[in-house]
A = this chain, B = another copy of it.
Amino acid sequence: MTEALKLYFSPLACSLASRIALYECGAAAEFVQVDGNTKLTLGGQNYLHIHPLGLVPALELPNGDVISENPAVLQYIAEQLSGGGATPADATQRARLHQYLSFIGSELHKAIFTPLLDRKASESVKAYALEKVDKRFSWLSDRLANRHHLLDEFSVADAYLLAVLNWCRVTPVELDAWPVLRGYEARLRERPAVLRAFTEELELYRQQQARSGVAPRSKPPSVETAR
């Protein structure tokens, strides 16, 4: 079954987490690259026919069903494939997995990074998003103090968090202000599956930028400066 899973992704978008999950599982899958601006696949297919909202990732199953939303795609991969942070059997650990996937998706990804990464968002919209950083990063830092992973072992929640924390490199959010998070990220990026996924998508990202003629994102002024 695994050979027929098809992952629609954009380089260094949150779909990177699903690539990490697949590599952690050692699973084969077909990767279809989507240009986030044109909504076309590299092969010229209209991605809106796959997912009308145009958001990545989407996972196409062998029967043609399409699953969207990162937490759903990640959990499907973890459940179907062995290893790589399968869904915990313990009810409280499972609740923690759901809690972290939801926190990362809503409080970090959508509330903070989506506006910061949006070239069309105004300065006041970005400032509103930046105001949310301190409380949420501090809470997360407190959770990760003295532990290596969000749950008892590496899970798809870590994969999602790594994809999101990477965006600190091109937004005013200063990861250095949270040494616990910076250390967590540095350690986990050494995992072979994580390193491979980041290396590959960084190269694909650069190729996409070169094709589009859009200047690559660079780090803007820090939170403090921006305020």
Q: Which residues of B contact A39 (CB under 8 A)?
A: none
Residues of B within 8 A of A95 (CB): 67, 72-73, 75-76
A110 to B129, CA, bound (A): 11
How many chain A residues sit at the interface, stated as a range, is: 35 or more
B102 touches A71 (CB 8 A): yes
How many copies the complex holds: the figure is 2
B67 touching A99, Cβ below 8 Å = yes
Contact A72 B111 (CB under 8 A): no
Give the segment of A4-12, A135-143, A172-180, A208-216 that binds chain B.
Answer: A135-143
**Given that A76-B95, A96-B67, A128-B115 are contacting pairs, would A53 and B122 also be in contact in the complex, using a CB cutoff of 8 Å?**
no
Q: Which of B70, B100, B111 contacts A102 (CB 8 A)?
A: B70
How far apart are the CA atoms of A37 and B73 in the complex, in Å? 36
Q: Check if B102 sits within 8 Å of A69, measured CB to CB.
A: yes
Kindly state the separation between the CA atoms of A142 and B103 in the bound complex, as whole angstroms: 27
A52 on the B face (CB < 8 A): yes
Contacts A67-B99, A99-B72 given; indicate if A128 touches B136 (C-beta within 8 A).
no
Binding site for B on A (CB under 8 A): 52-53, 61, 65, 67-73, 75-76, 79-80, 91-92, 94-96, 98-103, 105-107, 109-111, 114-115, 121-122, 124-125, 128, 135-136, 139, 142
Q: A-B pairs with the 6 shortest C-beta distances?
A: A72-B98, A72-B99, A69-B102, A106-B110, A69-B99, A110-B110
